[in-house]
């Protein structure tokens, strides 16, 4: 798409393509940024004739709030597992090149004292550190991982995501660690339902941060895996710098995740 026009008012915006005809053979990505962040809101509706009262509150907790509630404090530790699609379809549009760039940047950006591992998958899967779920993040292990990524190619056949996830699910996270899974794929798999069901069962101990690579990844799969596990998703089109996407996903993964929350208040204090 070479040109477009944008028109809008206070109610809505309209985006029109400038060309007379356009082949919709790939995704159209609209990036929308709010002019200001969401503010905390408290709304109370007065009692009606039946004596009923309605109250609504909306707030966005920050990282300090999450640490306080979760009890992690400064001792919060992560283990990162990178699941990288090396199937034949990753050759198209140099998607394997995008994965390689992202992985090398990840390996330079992980926090100290964390643990990590890399699983490459296609028709089969191969794990970098086979004897343990994750290994300590140190110079020796990082050098080994970097060499693996530099030599990585789209040479593992089909796209069988279920098996590596099953293997990962069978190994519980390291004691004292929260597991964050980064999935880099074009999402061209056949057994979507089985994969989604498995990830739903993993959501109590792991979050998936998914990357959809290329012009037309499986958007439903990429979004579904992240949403099912309380993670986040991004889409990286061809010929794109991955730096911003990697930084965004890593920042989200480093934030604690709180589940099974309850809100309690004393109704007697409401006048």
Whether 4 maps to a domain, the answer reads: no
Give domain status of residue 18, yes or no: no
**Is 108 a member of any domain?**
yes
Query: For residues 29 and 6, what is the distance between their CA atoms, to the nearest angstrom?
Result: 15
Number of domains in the chain: 2
Residues 99 and 132 reside in one and the same domain: yes
Q: CA–CA separation, 223 vs 225, rounded Å? A: 6
**Residues 55, 107 share a domain:** no
Model's pTM, two decimal places? 0.76
Provide the residue-wise pLDDT of the chain in tens; the chain has 271 residues.
556 788 888 888 888 877 777 777 767 777 777 776 667 777 777 777 787 778 777 777 666 666 665 555 555 689 999 999 999 999 989 999 999 999 999 999 999 989 999 999 999 999 999 988 999 999 999 999 999 999 999 999 999 999 999 999 999 888 888 899 999 999 878 899 999 999 999 998 899 999 999 998 999 999 999 999 999 999 999 989 999 999 999 999 998 776 667 777 665 555 4
Q: Which domain holds residue 157?
A: 77-253
Judgement on whether residues 64 and 143 belong to the same structural domain of the protein: no
Is 119 contained in some domain?
Answer: yes
CATH number of the domain residue 152 falls in: 3.40.50.410
Residue 164 has a pLDDT of: 95
| Residue 158 and residue 45 share a domain | no
Q: What tokens appear for 227 in the block?
A: 């949403």
Question: DSSP assignment of 22-44, as one string?
Answer: ----S--------SSPPPPEEEE
Q: What's residue 71's pLDDT?
A: 54
Q: Are 236 and 242 in contact (CB under 8 A)?
A: yes
Report the alpha-carbon distance of residue 261 to residue 8 in Å, rounded.
39
Question: Are 51 and 165 in the same domain?
Answer: no
H-helix segments, 110-191: 139-150, 162-170
- Only one residue has tokens 């037309």, namely 216
Strand partners, 179: 79, 206
Indicate if 165 and 241 belong to the same structural domain: yes
- Residues 58 and 110 placed together within one structural domain of the fold: no
Backbone angles phi, psi at 116, to 5 degrees: -155, 165
Same domain, 120 and 245: yes
Same structural domain for residues 47 and 83? no
Q: Is residue 161 situated within a structural domain?
A: yes
Question: In terms of residues, how long is the chain?
Answer: 271
How much is the pLDDT for 11? 82
* Residue at 217 is within a domain: yes
Do 84 and 167 fall into the same domain? yes
- If asked whether residues 57 and 126 sit together in one domain, one would say no
97 lies in a domain? Answer: yes
Q: What is the pLDDT of residue 255?
A: 84
In a domain, 177, yes or no: yes
Q: Say if residue 86 is in the same domain as residue 211.
A: yes
- Tokens coding 56: 């609504």
């Amino acid at each position: 798409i070479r040109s477009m026009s944008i028109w809008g008012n206070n109610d809505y915006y309209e985006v029109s393509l400038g060309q007379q005809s356009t082949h919709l053979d790939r995704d159209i990505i609209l990036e929308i940024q709010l002019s200001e962040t969401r503010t905390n809101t408290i709304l109370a509706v007065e009692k009606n004739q039946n004596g009923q009262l309605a109250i609504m509150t909306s707030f966005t907790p920050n990282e300090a709030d999450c640490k306080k509630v979760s009890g992690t404090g400064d001792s919060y530790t992560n283990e990162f597992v990178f699941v990288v699609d090396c199937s034949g379809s990753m050759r198209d549009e140099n998607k394997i090149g995008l994965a390689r760039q992202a992985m090398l940047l990840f390996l330079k950006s992980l926090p100290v004292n964390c643990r990590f591992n890399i699983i490459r998958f296609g028709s089969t899967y191969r794990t970098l550190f086979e004897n343990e779920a994750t290994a300590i993040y140190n110079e020796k292990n990082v050098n080994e991982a970097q060499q693996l990524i530099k030599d990585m190619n789209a040479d593992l056949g089909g796209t069988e995501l279920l098996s590596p996830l099953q293997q990962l699910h069978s190994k519980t996270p390291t004691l004292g660690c929260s597991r964050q899974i980064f999935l880099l794929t074009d999402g061209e798999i056949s057994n979507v339902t089985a994969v989604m069901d498995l990830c739903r069962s993993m959501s109590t101990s792991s979050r998936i941060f998914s990357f959809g690579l290329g012009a037309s990844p499986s958007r439903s799969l990429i979004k579904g895996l992240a949403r099912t596990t309380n993670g986040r998703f991004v889409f990286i089109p061809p010929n794109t710098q991955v730096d911003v996407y990697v930084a965004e996903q890593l920042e989200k993964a480093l934030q604690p995740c709180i589940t099974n929350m309850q809100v309690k208040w004393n109704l007697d204090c409401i006048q």
